[in-house]
Structure 1
C-alpha cells in the first residue's frame, strides 16, 4: 500500500507517476501493477497486478529497464507494510525524514488490459525496515532522479543493489488493520 499524492493506493488501482516524454517530465495517472495472466487461469479470469519488481535482470523487466522511455518515478508521501500475526496484521508506515514527498524507482508500459501501468523496483531492506519486512522499495534521493530516468542499465542495477540509509527512514506503527481492498473494474478504467 502506498500514499501517493495524499491518497492511499492499492495494487490494481490508479496512482500517479512521473515519466519523461520528449525530454520533459510529465505526471500521469496509471494503474499500479503490470497485468499478469497465468497459464492456470481461466480465460475469463481477470489478470493479477504485478506491483513489485524483484529483479531487473529477469525477462519480464530487462527489456523495459534497458530503455529510458519506460522508466518512471513513483512519488510517495509514505509506504506501508503489514506487521503482526496472520489475521490481525496492522499497517506500519514508512517515510523519509525531512522529505514530505520522495520517489520510488519504477518502470511503466502500455497494456492492452488496463492502459498505462507501472510497477516499483524492490531491493533488500535496510536495518530500519528489517523489523517489519525483508524487502523495501528502491528509494531515490532527488539528485538521483535523472540517473534513474536516463542512466545506463548498470546504473539501475546499482540502485537495486545498494542499501538506502537507515537513518533516513522513519517508522510509524499503527493499530489500523491491514485489509486487502478489492479493486473495482471502474477504478482500473478511471486510470486509462
Structure 2
C-alpha cells in the first residue's frame, strides 16, 4: 500500500509539467496522507485541469455507527473489481496524482522508519488514479497499485502505477484495456531512486484523519 507521498512543487510548476493552462492552489500539505487534501490532474472538455480533492474514496463498513467517519480507500488493488471498473472504463473518471516521492514503512514493528522512492531525472512524476464526486467529502481520488519491481521488492511487494510524461495521454484517454495494461506492467528498476531515513513512520498518525484502506 502507499499511505504517504509528497508534492513539494508549487502550483505553477505542477501545471507546467502536466500541461494545465490554469494552475489551482490547494490547501494540501507537502506531505499527503489518506483522508486529507491533495491535487489531482484530470481532463474536462478536452482540457487538462488541476483540482483539489480528498485522497481516498469514502467507505462505510457494515456495523459502523451513522456518526462514524467513513474510511478512505486510498489505494486500488485491481481495476477489474466492480467497485473500480465502472469508473476505469470511462476516461473522464481517470486522473493523474502529481507527486515528488512516495514512502513505505521499513524496519521492525514499533520502530519502522520512512523509506522514500522517487523517479530518476523526474523532479515530479505521475501516479495513475481514479476520481469521483462523493456525498461525504466532495471530489475524491484513489491511486492504482501494481506488483513491485525488483528495486522495491526488499521493502514492499506492491507499488503505485507510476507514469512517465509519455504515459499521461494514454492513461487519461485510452481504452479500458490500455488502462489495465498500465497495472499489468513492471516499472523499470533503474528508474527508481531510494532514500532511507531515520524518520519514524508512526508520526503519520498525528496527521492522518482515518485509517487507510485498499480494495
Q: Aligning the two structures, in what range does the TM-score lie when normalised by the shorter sequence?
A: over 0.9
Quote the offset at 1:183 in angstroms: 3.8
Q: Which aligned pairs between 1:141-156 and structure 2 lie closer than 5 A? A: 141-156=164-179
Distance 1:24 1:116 in 2: 18
Q: Name the structure with the higher strand share.
A: 1
Q: 1:43 aligns with which of 66, 75, 91?
A: 66
1:55-134 alignment, distance < 5 Å: 55-134=78-157
Q: Is the 8 A contact 2:112 2:200 kept in 1?
A: yes
Distance 1:113 1:54 in 2: 23
| Alpha-carbon shift at residue 40 of structure 1 (Å) | 2.2
Worse overlay, 2-11 or 150-159? 2-11
How big is the alpha-carbon RMSD for the aligned residues of Structure 1 and Structure 2? Answer: 1.2
Specify the alignment match of 2:5 in structure 1: 2
Given that 2:107 and 2:113 are in contact with CA atoms closer than 8 Å, whether structure 1 keeps it comes out as yes
User: Structure 2 stretches of 5 or more lacking a match?
Assistant: 10-29, 211-215
Q: Secondary structure at the match of 2:87?
A: helix
Alignment TM-score, normalising by the size of structure 2 = 0.84
4+ aligned runs moved over 4 Å, structure 1: none
Deviation of 1:44 (Å) = 1.2
Identify the residue that residue 139 of structure 1 maps to in structure 2.
162
- Give the counterpart of 2:195 among 146, 149, 172: 172
2:58–2:73 contact (8 Å) kept in structure 1: yes
Distance in 2, matches of 1:33 and 1:8, equals 15
